[in-house]
Amino acid sequence: MTGATRLNIGLGLALVAALGVAVTLGETAFSAGQYAEALSDPASGPGEVLWLVRAPRAVCALLVGAALGLAGAVMQGLLRNPLAEPGVLGVSATSALAAATAIVLGLAAIPGAVESAALFGAAVGGGLLIALAARVRAPEALILFGVALSSFAGALTALIFNLSPSPIASAEVMNWLLGSVENRSWVDVAWVAPALLIAALLARAAAPGLRMLTLGEEAARASGLSMGRMRVLALAAASLAAGAAVAVAGVIGFVGLAAPHLVRAAVRGDPGRLLAPSALAGGLMLVLADLMARMLPTDQELKLGVFTALVGAPLFALIAWRAAREWRL
Amino acid sequence: MSGLLELENAHARLGGVEILKGASFVVRPGEVVALCGPNGAGKSTAVRAALGLTPLTQGTARLGDHEARRLSERQRGERAAYLPQDRSIAWNLPAVEVAALGAPFLTGEAALERARAALDEVGVGHLVDRGVADMSGGERARVLLARALTVPAPLLVADEPIAGLDPDAQLLVLERLRARADAGRGVLVSLHDLSLAARFADRVVVLDQGRTTAEGAPTEALSPSILKTVFNLDAVWLEALDGPWLAARRLSPHG
């Protein structure tokens, strides 16, 4: 068994354990009898709490985290840059802009409208990036374009707040932008799961090209692999994954940046083999983060996006400190 | 005999500046061709153009029996191995996995097998599992050469493969390229060390301001008059223990 396989199995087992804990623990403490009731009769009171409230929420956290971890790993490989993350190319921002627009227009009541809008926004952002990447190859140019796209979409989102006639709609958008998997149902799981699956397949097809890109653009172009095809696959995978995450949970930072770094050393830096463990690590991070966010004794439940940034930023500084020695940044 | 690589009257522009203004050369199986010229002569651009990586505004570039720019990526990869000047490696992969990138169409184990053999061949067989970020610049250069040697193609194109290497490593790299040619493959190598070019190449192509200005057996192509006009050197070829050696001094500033 290779090191990467062992890592994936280990992360998978940790994920199952984390899901178990996330379904078991909650604000309402149950007795042993109530747990037994929940397991034997899912329609009972405790059963509904476990299977219709906690379970879909935990699975949503898992899928959103996995999507962010995957998108981050693809971005870092494509841009050959350990600082890249799903947000850096502006796809999260265009996705959030489209979702915010849908909310302000009062479409949130229509099931799936905000989710569809977020995916549409991601598709527009991703499409622009793919069109640009067909013309310029320098990763720096792509990053600069992404920064511009991100700023522009962010400015338009701010404009929505600015011009919004109703403070209630503004608050709703704000609340959504902070990022959360609170009150998510199996319907949300059904939204994010297929998108993540397609993104994973696209990313997998891009993996050999991402690995080849380790040698730099010039050597990779003459290697025999199609770098143009790889770029389209990678950008489509990252955009779809980032869009799916935003569609279900709003904007959640740091997971996409940090997850690849947690597992990079274990796959010896290989950007192709990094994809699966980075997705698993992202899922694990978000399940645990959501568990902690809802278990903390605060009056108002901490928003997941706020929590990941609060915990993630110092943690990431630590990872960066250690990794800097590892790959001599 | 037809060439593995043929650049004919190539013109190319980069960022609005005409870099190639009539570069021509051929590489045939079994020979080492050294591409020499002062800094800015267009050597790297000529190499890229020959591989079909830089578009030509005039002239042709052929790899085997096809025009280079019409080849698919896969066809290009099967015709030529390319060792670019840029030695940056983005991630800290172990040496053997970097070398194995030379054979992306082989199965994992077969590619690793070839990679280990190539690393042995360039004298870093003991570093197969070392991360490339934990290596010296010279070791990394050898790993990248091993990557190029792993490519199962009839032609090897190396852009300044000995720049920045110690004398022993320079000789080792050129010996390996020579051995490739002696085994029937074609080698195109751009070099600044004219003495080493004369010792290891069958033919030298002199590029000056984007044009091929001389071509032939090393000491003929690098004749005293070419050395003077192209390289600004007052130089003579001496016969040393292991081949020709260039004794040179700078000419006083142009004119």
Query: Could you report the per-residue pLDDT of B151-184, keeping only the tens digit for each?
Result: 999 999 999 999 999 999 999 999 999 999 999 9
Cβ pair B145, B173 in contact under 8 A: yes
- What confidence score (pLDDT) does residue A329 get? 47
Cβ–Cβ gap A214/B94 under 8 Å? no
Cβ-Cβ contacts under 8 Å for A93 (sequence gap 6 or more): A87, A125, A149, A150, A151, A153, A154, A157
**Nearest by CB: A224 against B53, B77, B83:** B77
Cβ–Cβ gap A223/B101 under 8 Å? yes
Separation between Cα atoms, residue B93 and residue A132, nearest integer Å: 29
pLDDT grade for A328, boundaries at 50, 70 and 90: low
- What confidence score (pLDDT) does residue B10 get? 96
Q: How many CB pairs under 8 A join A and B?
A: 83
Query: 3-class DSSP state for residue A30?
Result: coil
- Mean pLDDT along residues B101-106: 93
Cβ pair B88, A217 in contact under 8 A: no
- What confidence score (pLDDT) does residue B192 get? 96
Comparing C-alpha atoms, which of B230, B238, B161 is closest to residue B193?
Answer: B161
* Whether pLDDT at B115 is above 80: yes
What is the maximum alpha-carbon separation in chain A?
66
- Mean pLDDT along residues A319-329: 66
Cβ pair A18, A287 in contact under 8 A: yes
Lookup: tokens for A235: 């950008």
| Exposed/middle/buried for residue B250 (C-beta within 10 Å: 0-12, 13-18, 19+) | exposed
pLDDT-wise least confident of A47-56, A200-209, B96-105, B110-119:
A47-56
**pLDDT per residue as tens digits for the range A246-294:** 999 998 988 998 899 889 989 999 999 999 999 999 999 999 999 998 8
DSSP letters of chain B? ---SEEEEEEEEEETTEEEEEEEEEEE-TT-EEEEE--TTSSHHHHHHHHTTSS--SEEEEEETTEEGGGS-HHHHHHHEEEE-S----SS--BHHHHHHTT-TTS-HHHHHHHHHHHHHHTT-GGGTTSBGGGS-HHHHHHHHHHHHHHS--SEEEEESTTTT--HHHHHHHHHHHHHHHHTT-EEEEE-S-HHHHHHH-SEEEEEETTEEEEEESHHHHT-HHHHHHTT-EEEEEEEETTEEEEEEEEPSS--
> Could you tell me which residues are beta bridge partners of residue B187?
B32, B156
Comparing C-alpha atoms, which of B179, B209, B194, B228 is closest to residue B21?
Answer: B209
B83 touches chain A (CB under 8 A): yes
Separation between Cα atoms, residue B4 and residue B65, nearest integer Å: 8
Lookup: tokens for A315: 């943690």
Query: Which residue of chain A comes nearest to B151, CA vs CA?
Result: A223
Separation between Cα atoms, residue A311 and residue A258, nearest integer Å: 11
Comparing C-alpha atoms, which of A49, A157, A211 is closest to residue B94?
Answer: A211
**pLDDT per residue as tens digits for the range B31-69:** 999 999 999 999 999 999 999 999 999 999 999 989 999
Residue percentage of chain B with pLDDT more than 90: 92
Separation between Cα atoms, residue A318 and residue A322, nearest integer Å: 6
* Whether pLDDT at A225 is above 70: yes
Please report residues of A whose CB lies closer than 8 A to that of B73.
221, 223-227
Distance from CA of A93 to the nearest CA of B (A): 27
Interface of B with A in 138-167 (CB under 8 A): 144, 147
Comparing C-alpha atoms, which of A156, A162, A142, A149 is closest to residue A122?
Answer: A149
Predicted TM-score (pTM) of the model is 0.92
Cβ pair A111, A187 in contact under 8 A: yes
- What confidence score (pLDDT) does residue A1 get? 64
Query: 3-class DSSP state for residue A50?
Result: helix
Query: Which residue of chain B comes nearest to A227, CA vs CA?
Result: B73
Average pLDDT of chain A is 89
Cβ-Cβ contacts under 8 Å for B141 (sequence gap 6 or more): B87, B161, B164, B165, B169, B173
pLDDT grade for A162, boundaries at 50, 70 and 90: confident
Cβ–Cβ gap A223/B80 under 8 Å? no
Query: 3-class DSSP state for residue A29?
Result: coil
What is the predicted ipTM? 0.93
B91 touches chain A (CB under 8 A): yes
Tell which CATH architecture fits domain B5-250.
Answer: 3-Layer(aba) Sandwich (3.40)
Separation between Cα atoms, residue B109 and residue A299, nearest integer Å: 57
- Mean pLDDT along residues A217-236: 94
**Nearest by CB: B80 against A211, A222, A269:** A222
Cβ–Cβ gap A215/B101 under 8 Å? yes
Give how far Cα A84 sits from Cα of A79, A297, B233, Å. Answer: 7, 34, 49
Of how many residues is chain B composed? 255
Separation between Cα atoms, residue B59 and residue B8, nearest integer Å: 6
**pLDDT per residue as tens digits for the range A13-50:** 999 999 999 988 887 778 888 888 888 888 888 888 88
Cβ–Cβ gap A214/B51 under 8 Å? no
Query: 3-class DSSP state for residue A184?
Result: coil
The CATH superfamily of A3-327 is ABC transporter involved in vitamin B12 uptake, BtuC (1.10.3470.10)
pLDDT-wise least confident of A203-217, A295-309, B28-42, B191-205:
A295-309
- Mean pLDDT along residues A95-121: 90
pLDDT grade for A182, boundaries at 50, 70 and 90: confident
Separation between Cα atoms, residue B27 and residue B51, nearest integer Å: 12
- What confidence score (pLDDT) does residue A313 get? 82
pLDDT grade for B231, boundaries at 50, 70 and 90: very high
Give how far Cα B142 sits from Cα of A83, B128, B138, B221, Å. Answer: 29, 12, 6, 29
Cβ atoms within 10 Å of A320's Cβ, excluding its own? 15
Beginning with the edge strand found earlier in the chain, give each strand of the sheet holding B5-14 in spatial order: B17-27, B5-14, B58-63, B66-67
Find which of B101, B150, B157 to mutate to test the A interface (most A CBs within 10 Å of its CB).
B101
* Whether pLDDT at A327 is above 70: no
Domain coordinates in residue numbering, chain A: 3-327
State the DSSP code for A267: G
**pLDDT per residue as tens digits for the range B196-217:** 999 999 999 999 999 999 999 9
pLDDT grade for A109, boundaries at 50, 70 and 90: confident
